[in-house]
Structure 1
Amino acid sequence: MGDVPSSENAVSTDATIAGSATPADLLIQSRNRHFASAAFEQRYWVGGDPYATAFFNALSVTFPKGETFFMKVLRQYRNECPEKLKREISGFVQQEAVHSREHLFFNKQLEQSDFDLSRLEQVLSDVIDDIGTRPLINQLVATTCLEHLTAVMAAEFIANPIHFQKADKEQRKMWLWHASEEVEHKGVAYDTWLHATKDWSRSKRWFTKSLFMIRISLGFAKNRSKGIFDLLRQDGISGPRAWLGFAHYALVSPAPFRRTFWTWGQFFLPGFHPWNKDDRHLIQLAESEYEAAIMDHPEEKEEIATLGERPKRKRLPKVA
């Protein structure tokens, strides 16, 4: 992508002057979707696959508190940033607020279907509370690392149709919408980090972000795996069956971990910036699916002010 500088120092200089290295013609703003009809058609809503369903369910548990934390961190840097980046942080905050709201509703549906999320939520709370005690710059680099992980997964979920090919239609629409906005704002936290560390040496910046990425990634993998196996156990899937089944899903087919490993690792390369890879076409690809679905269901455009006003969903029985 020609507009993104080729070195981290150059990106830092550009971020200081222009506000960010996000494409100038990319407007980051919330679409404020309400997925009021995104009910579960089946307990294993990802095509009847218990492992894929547990993966996305465990991921969803992280979003309300996790994205609230990201918003809190970037808000504290917004006023000191150049105007372009300041506007992008505002767009980021708006998008993440809606994501948090929609996944809160999704998680309520899981609880109504007899999933106990308390252990997953406690682990997440402990991690966020711990990061929240660290200096603000550490909270920012942690946010930057987690946003990279999220953007990498989001791009894979959109680019590879196999992930949601057989998923419940309404859920596929919600997850594609979320993924598209994660791709859209993938450079905001990183540009904020570059601006906040503009007086650092290149080596200090690289060492700090790399160390955090290794620690964050290992913790993310460990805690999400614990959550996945917790959810699987609640449906009677445990032991070697759970481990082998999830390993096949994660690494063989559709292999979200294996397919994203190289993109994740690019974070450590000299001159990395999220927009070194221009994948705006993925935003359009995702929108083509959920926009078409919304045209078929115009009632979804109606504003629903609070979670309590949304229609209650049917309770799905446990699967033995």
Structure 2
Amino acid sequence: MDIAPTIADSATNFTARNKSATPADLHIQPRNLNLASAEINRRRWVGGDPFASAFFNALSVTFPEGELFFIDSLKKFIKHVPPKLRGEIRAFIQQEAIHSREHHSFNEHLKDCDFDITLLEEAISRVVTTIRAKPDHDQLVATMCIEHITAILAAEVIGNPAHLKDADEDQRNLWLWHASEEIEHKGVAYDTWLHMTRDWNPLKCWLVRCSFMARISFGFAKNRTRGILELLRQDGITGLRAYYGLAHYALVGKAPFRRTLRPLLAFFKPGFHPWDIDDRPLIKLAESEYEAAVMDEAADSAKVTPIAGRRSAGPLKKVA
């Protein structure tokens, strides 16, 4: 059911109007790298852990089509926002386009490892098709909600080294790079939403975004669980072993779902903004790690080049 802009129009006592908390000196920098070019040499590339590997693999399958949807949802508003935000949307679009490309390559490597990801791809296609059929504002708020989920997962992946400590280096660098950019542009969709709903009643804005997040976060957890279980099945892990192992990984061990619950719930707070937590130090931490790996690789080839020029896929196109 679509969320129409008539919700709570008559409410007058809800005064926690949102304002952007995006740092004024934030610079969103697309990094046009080909970090997914290396082959995946084993199914359990996260230190031999089938559950961690399936978690990241299931996430990756959603990115090529999901990132393109995010791009399209923000493009519709780019001419209706202030110049600074317009520039941030352009940078967001460039980053997401590169993410889509890199995870397409990553997913092709999964197929080379004899994973059949057809069911997972069909599932994300159905979800995206359903959302694309909704009004533009609904697509924007859906993007805003999913971007918050990806940003808090990104902060968890970088902030808790246990997630990728034993991962194969090439794949680890890919995920650190992607996570750092998810944090960097985490406020763009939200700020676009704030601008486009600036004349809405504050209670209506809160109800709309919270109702969307409640449904999207539930659907995200349900669909990722299904995808992970399917990949585990193909890896020979089924039944109670699969369910128990996944529950232990997600909620007890490395616990990416449990550890991101509090920042997820923060979204429902009146006046919330993604940059209420300034986690730019995590961006620098991730950059220091994957850039060091890139420089080491270049040194091994007796040709050290700046990070920005490493295996570039060509110039980035200007976004209108």
TM-score, scaled relative to structure 1: 0.88
CA distance in 2, matches of 1:43, 1:109: 10
- Report the number of matched residues: 292
1:9, CA displacement in angstroms? 2.1
1:235, CA displacement in angstroms? 1.4
Cα distance per residue 1:281-304 (max 9 Å; x no partner) = 000000010010010112781334
Using a 3 Å threshold, how does the CA distance of structure 1 residues 114 and 215 change in structure 2: closer, same or farther?
same
Using a 3 Å threshold, how does the CA distance of structure 1 residues 83 and 304 change in structure 2: closer, same or farther?
closer
Other-structure match for 1:144: 144
CA distance in 1, matches of 2:149, 2:132: 19
Other-structure match for 2:310: 301
Q: Is the 8 A contact 1:8 1:273 kept in 2?
A: no
C-alpha RMSD of matched pairs (Å): 1.5
Q: Please tell me the residue identity of whatever aligns with 1:207.
A: L
Q: Please tell me the residue identity of whatever aligns with 2:170.
A: E
Q: Is the 8 A contact 2:85 2:192 kept in 1?
A: yes
Other-structure match for 2:225: 225
Other-structure match for 1:317: none
Other-structure match for 1:9: 17
Other-structure match for 2:130: 130
Cα distance per residue 1:259-318 (max 9 Å; x no partner) = 11001100001210001111100000000100100101127813346xxxxxxxxxxxxx
CA distance in 1, matches of 2:18, 2:247: 40
Other-structure match for 2:154: 154
Q: Do structure 1's residue 187 and structure 2's residue 187 form an aligned pair?
A: yes
CA distance in 1, matches of 2:248, 2:231: 17
CA distance in 2, matches of 1:185, 1:303: 21
1:27, CA displacement in angstroms? 0.7
Other-structure match for 2:111: 111
Cα distance per residue 1:192-239 (max 9 Å; x no partner) = 111111111110000000000000011111111111111111111111
Identity between Structure 1 and Structure 2 (%)? 58
Other-structure match for 2:254: 254
1:38, CA displacement in angstroms? 3.1
CA distance in 1, matches of 2:167, 2:38: 12
Other-structure match for 1:121: 121
CA distance in 1, matches of 2:203, 2:107: 41
Other-structure match for 2:265: 265
Other-structure match for 2:66: 66
CA distance in 1, matches of 2:130, 2:139: 10
1:22, CA displacement in angstroms? 1.8
1:112, CA displacement in angstroms? 1.3
CA distance in 1, matches of 2:172, 2:36: 13
Q: Please tell me the residue identity of whatever aligns with 2:38.
A: A
Q: Is the 8 A contact 1:68 1:96 kept in 2?
A: yes
Higher helix share: 1
CA distance in 2, matches of 1:99, 1:111: 18
1:23, CA displacement in angstroms? 1.1
Runs of 4+ in 1 over 4 A off after TM superposition: none
- Aligned pairs for 1:75-90 (under 5 A) are 75-90=75-90
Q: Is the 8 A contact 2:187 2:273 kept in 1?
A: yes
CA distance in 2, matches of 1:210, 1:254: 28
Q: Please tell me the residue identity of whatever aligns with 1:143.
A: T
TM-score, scaled relative to structure 2: 0.88
CA distance in 2, matches of 1:130, 1:193: 20
CA distance in 1, matches of 2:250, 2:276: 26
Structure 2 segments unaligned to the other structure (5+ residues): 1-14, 302-308, 315-320
Which shifted more, 259-268 or 291-300? 291-300
Using a 3 Å threshold, how does the CA distance of structure 1 residues 225 and 198 change in structure 2: closer, same or farther?
same
